[in-house]
A and B are shown apart, each in its own frame.
Chain A
Amino acid sequence: MTTEPTTAPVPNFDDGPSDRTLAIICSKGTLDMAYPGLILANAALGEGAQVHMFFTFWGFDMITKKRMADLKFTMLGNTATHMPQGLGGLPGMTAMATSMMRKQIASIDVPTVPEMLEQIVASGGHLWACQMSADMMHLTKDDLYDAVEEIINASAFIEMTAGAQLLFI
């Protein structure tokens, strides 16, 4: 028995005006903790959501020109490496662990932190820097990655992302 083939479904790409906004607060400055926010921001943009990233405290290292390409990973205090904690404190271990992690990240074709930021901005994402962190670290907009739109305070960010889904990392 043969049946007439049905008309193929057309995927629903949700083309209506999207009100989905993701606010991502990046508060960590280690190599391993920089990536979750960057990957999720990139994924959300690819799904048509708006993304605002707010860099605060140690997260400032992710957007500080002098440091953004040089974030580190340490085994110290991180039991998920399943290595004896004493090892992590030996001279050179942080440099070695960092270099290993960079290689692992590169091996799966995931770009560096500055390249991730570049892609996020190219995809329409917005980057904001925390006023208090800038004041504490005596940094001005000139010290920050060029695509950072402005240094704003916490309430400005909260106001700007009213109704957004929020991630604190």
Chain B
Amino acid sequence: MPTASINGRQVQVDAEGFLTQYDEWDEDLATVLAAQIGIELGEEHWKAIHFLRADFKEQGETATLRRITTVGGIPTKELFELFPKKPAKKMAYIAGLPKPRGCV
């Protein structure tokens, strides 16, 4: 995976720009990643991002929308409002995780 710079910091990313190293992520980076896709992170956004980070650490996989709703307790409808159109992928990108693998 290539090294690239985001906001002056060197990180590992895949061809699309998703971070590939869990530990290279931090909140400052997340704010920059979110801004790059037109999202300003508020309290509700952070709740979803922090759930994704913690869940990935436990499960080794990026949570799907359904899991964020049933386990993380954030309604699906809200996720579509916070991260419009492609919530699962956008959240994964901001959280520095791979795209979710599961179908549901």
Contacts and interface: CB of A to CB of B under 8 A. Distances in A.
Contact of A123 (B5, B65, B67): B65
Interface string A107-151: 001110000100100111000000000000000000000000000
Contact of A46 (B5, B77, B88): B88
Nearest to B70: A111
Q: DSSP majority for the B interface?
A: mixed
B60 interface: no
B80 A124 contact: yes
A47 B83 CA distance: 12
Interface in A1-56: 5-15, 18, 39, 42-43, 46-48
Contact of B103 (A12, A13, A39): A39
Interface in B67-92: 67, 69, 75-77, 80, 84-90
A8 B17 contact: yes
B45 interface: no
Contact of A9 (B13, B77, B84, B104): B13
A13 B15 contact: no
A124 B87 CA distance: 12
B5 A39 contact: no
B23 interface: no
Interface of B: 2-6, 10-11, 13, 15-18, 36-38, 65-67, 69, 75-77, 80, 84-90, 93, 102-104
Interface of A: 5-15, 18, 39, 42-43, 46-48, 109-111, 116, 119, 122-124
Given A15-B84, A42-B104, A47-B86, 15 more contacts: A5-B2, A5-B5, A8-B13, A9-B13, A10-B36, A11-B18, A13-B89, A46-B87, A48-B85, A109-B67, A111-B66, A119-B76, A119-B104, A123-B76, A123-B77
